[in-house]
């Protein structure tokens, strides 16, 4: 496969859904290979416990570093290091493999991240549960020279990382060359490209439905006018819904007609 994806979770069955739809097809085509692993397989105690109480007190449980490390050492083919505090973080981490932890208190996962990760050979996702995972887990692998990322998928708290990982995998894999039948459909999307706006509204046939007509210019056959209309609509929509995206735009990307708005 062009990309191998390993997922670690205490609910690996959750990822059965990845065999459906386009991602299922991509796996069939050999484009990507996804494997979900049960974290509890790396435990040694009869209760298969993966969590413990928080040091410093407080509610809930925290995922233990020992179990995670035995699992991740296997998936990343790394030998355990006795004293990681003596390691110096390498300047350039391994470029082919990325270890990703979903985390609501991390930077937001964006389309730009998805685009970058679509070019990697191996992605390993670690799904948190409970109050989250021991902070030394990502730190340890960074010290080992692994490219470790922590991402939030939005400003809300989920019960576990499974939903977040599914969302990230879907966003990443659909950008892989050969995944989509029609490559154009991913080039002209919201959040895509250097000067991304929200996409314009979409319409299909019939031209009038239950008394509602599609904007007339879309029926004109004049591509210049259609493009202009869509661009204006995208600008107006983005200004209204996501003014932060407008502020982030490079003003040189706006053409003269845009600036008049
Ligand atoms: N105590 C954490 C906090 O307040 O930031 C919340 C932990 S949450 C209940 C358990 C796990 O769900 C997290 O470790 C993470 O893997 C996942 N998770 C929850 N919300 C998420 C989000 N918005 N984005 C990414 N992962 C999330």
Ordered domains of the chain (ranges, CATH): 3-173 (3.40.1280.10), 195-260 (1.10.1270.20)
Residue 154 alpha carbon, nearest atom of ligand 1: 23
Mean pLDDT, residues 146-173 taken together: 97
User: 158: annotated binding-site residue?
Assistant: yes
Q: At what angle do helices 65-76 and 136-143 cross, to 10 degrees?
A: 30
Where residue 202 falls among pLDDT bands split at 50, 70, 90? very high
Tell which one of 158, 165, 168 to mutate to probe ligand 1, the residue whose CB is within 8 A of the most ligand atoms.
158
Q: 2, exposed or middle or buried, with CB in 10 Å at 0-12, 13-18, 19+?
A: middle
* CA 27 – ligand 1 centroid, Å: 28
pLDDT over 60 at 259, yes or no: no
pLDDT for 261: 46
pTM of structure: 0.93
Pairwise CA distance, residues 65 & 58, whole Å: 18
Where residue 51 falls among pLDDT bands split at 50, 70, 90? very high
Rounded to 10 degrees, the C-alpha dihedral 160/165/166/167 comes to: 110
Where residue 46 falls among pLDDT bands split at 50, 70, 90? very high
> Is 104 close to ligand 1, i.e. is its CB under 6 Å away?
yes
* CA 51 – ligand 1 centroid, Å: 15
> Is 154 close to ligand 1, i.e. is its CB under 6 Å away?
yes
* CA 161 – ligand 1 centroid, Å: 6
The phi, psi pair for 3, rounded to 5°, reads -135, 135
pLDDT for 256: 65
Where residue 260 falls among pLDDT bands split at 50, 70, 90? low
In the numeric block, the tokens 């996804």 are attached to 34
pLDDT for 34: 96
Pairwise CA distance, residues 80 & 194, whole Å: 41
> Is 160 close to ligand 1, i.e. is its CB under 6 Å away?
yes
Tell which one of 102, 165, 167 to mutate to probe ligand 1, the residue whose CB is within 8 A of the most ligand atoms.
102
What is the ipTM, given to two decimal places?
Answer: 0.99
Do the Cβ atoms of 143 and 94 come closer than 8 Å? no
Q: 56, exposed or middle or buried, with CB in 10 Å at 0-12, 13-18, 19+?
A: exposed
Residue nearest to atom 24 of ligand 1 (CA): 152
> Is 156 close to ligand 1, i.e. is its CB under 6 Å away?
yes
* Average pLDDT of the chain, as a whole number: 93
pLDDT per position as a tens digit, 88-146:
888 888 899 999 999 999 999 999 999 999 999 999 999 999 999 999 999 999 999 99
Residue 152 alpha carbon, nearest atom of ligand 1: 24
pLDDT per position as a tens digit, 3-32:
999 999 999 999 999 888 888 899 999 999
Q: Give the largest CA-CA distance in the chain.
A: 72
């Amino acid at each position: 496969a062009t990309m191998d994806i390993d997922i670690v979770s205490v609910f690996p069955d959750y990822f059965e859904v990845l065999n459906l739809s386009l991602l299922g097809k991509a796996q069939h085509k050999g484009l990507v290979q996804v494997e979900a692993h049960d974290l509890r397989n790396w435990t040694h105690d009869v209760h298969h416990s993966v969590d413990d109480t928080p040091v410093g007190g407080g509610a809930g449980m925290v995922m233990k570093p020992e179990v995670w490390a035995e699992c991740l050492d296997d998936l990343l083919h790394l030998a355990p290091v006795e004293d990681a505090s003596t390691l110096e973080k390498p300047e350039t981490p391994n470029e082919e493999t990325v270890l990703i932890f979903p985390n609501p208190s991390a930077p937001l996962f964006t389309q730009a991240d998805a685009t970058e990760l679509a070019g990697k050979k191996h992605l390993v996702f670690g799904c948190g549960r409970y109050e989250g995972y021991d902070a030394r887990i990502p730190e340890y692998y960074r010290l080992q020279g692994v490219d470790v990322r922590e991402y939030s998928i939005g400003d809300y708290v989920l019960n576990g990382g499974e939903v977040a990982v599914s969302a990230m995998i879907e966003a990443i894999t659909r950008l892989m060359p050969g995944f989509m039948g029609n490559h154009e459909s991913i080039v002209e999307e919201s959040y895509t490209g250097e000067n991304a706006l929200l996409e314009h509204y979409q319409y299909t046939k019939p031209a009038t439905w239950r008394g509602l007509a599609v904007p007339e210019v879309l029926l004109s056959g004049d591509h210049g006018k259609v493009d202009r209309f869509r661009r204006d609509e995208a600008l107006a929509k983005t200004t209204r819904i996501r003014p932060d995206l407008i502020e982030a735009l490079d003003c040189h990307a706006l053409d003269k007609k845009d600036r008049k708005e």
